[in-house]
Structure 1
Amino acid sequence: MKILPIIISLLLFNIFTLHAQQKRELIKISEDLEIIPLTDKSFIHVSYATYPSFGRVACNGLLYINQNEAVVMDTPTNDEISEQLLAWIAEKFPETKVTSVVINHFHEDCLGGLNAFHAAGAKSYASRLTCTLAKENGAVVPQIAFDKKMKIKIGDQEVVCDFLGEAHTRDNIVTWVPEEKILFGGCMVKSVDATKGNLEDANVEEWSNTIGKVRSKYKKATVIIPGHGEAGGLELLDYTIQLFTL
């Protein structure tokens, strides 16, 4: 039987590929912005903000580019840093236009730089509840609202925005990039060994159930990006489920 050696080879390939992705060189744009390449099309953007309860915090977002169109999942933490990200994209990919920005939930570390993206001509998408909560909290309101799920065209590919339940906030979503098998989980997903973090707007009773739904639906994900900390694989979802199991 030759099936077992093939399966082993594929598993080893996936492990080595993920390891190589995680070890790619970090690109430092400024003191407050870093870029981590995942593939030729996908990049984590890491911006920094200081919060009274947590100090200086690194906040993750995702950039995906296809056929000279780009989508950003979560803005950097303010307009100035968002302008730095947009300038880097324009320099690195001069023929690419940032057409879309997806907001994971209503907190500042998701939409603090939204004005900069609107000024650059990007359309912004968020759940209807995120738009409501942003307005109630005096934040910039995303332009296009959806209820449970929305697909956004980026070139000839799609990204999928999906609400699967309450966790870090009432409105948190995930965004799936099928071509890359990358899932942007945002703050509902914890990096391995992370603490529970900010629970001010959380539903801790439902958190594990929600992540269980995410794991079941997006089990083909090979890279999962949390709102803070290092990216990984499905082990991030397993760790988050364990962390919030009551």
Structure 2
Amino acid sequence: MTAILRLESRKRLRASIVLVVVFVLLSALYFSMFPSVEEEMEELADAFPDFFFELFGIEALHTIEGFIAAEIYSFFWVVLVAIYFAYVGAGMIAKDVRERKMDLTLSNPVSRESVVLQKVSALWVPLVVLNTAVPLVVYVGALVIGESFDPVSLAMVHLLSIPYLLVCAGIGLLVSVLVDRPRSARATAISLVFVLWLVDGVSRLDPDFEWIGAVTPSRYYDETAILVHEEYALADAGLLLVTFLVLVAVAALVFARRDI
């Protein structure tokens, strides 16, 4: 009953480790930079227009929390890792359908809904690996340069990112059951996640259009508020989690009624 889950889980391990290695290299670069640029950060911040900081949610660059939130989490985590989850989600069904593996899978006594749920459940691997290794790297990296993070805030920035990443995967999954070609499904899912993030950032620049960002998942995950201000938007995380469950339910329903 869990054969698909076990197989998919093993497939996710290698990519998760690669992402951790990339993050270690990025962290080493930025942590090595911070001591030399810390005193110049306020002057550097004044050199950029205000909309730049609003677009990327950047503040308190002269602190280790603000610096790492801006340089690592605001882009690597919120954009690149989210794109990875969308990419994975988009390949879950479309790839097997295209390669005729789904026919073999469904020839066994397993429902289509179970196939979807087991494939989605395999996301526990990247979620656990990334959200265990990355905060450890960040915490140790700060100590090495004589700085420190509040461990609770650091834990929360990762814990509250899980619903956000799951929504990105859910977007990819829904595209995966609607689009036959895996390349097209992945390209569509990646584009959707990136455009939604961009819409969120741009909509913040004008109060009259800020409401548009309410439909974007990144609006409900603010890494800077968590690290810099220790603000934990639990209700927003709950809303993202519900959104993910709805996306999975719709994807399972569409796949169950689909001809392959």
Which TM-score applies when normalising by structure 1?
Answer: 0.26
Between structures 1 and 2, the one with greater strand share? 1
More contact order relative to length (CA 8 Å, sep ≥ 6): 2
Between structures 1 and 2, the one with greater helix share? 2
| Larger-Rg structure | 2
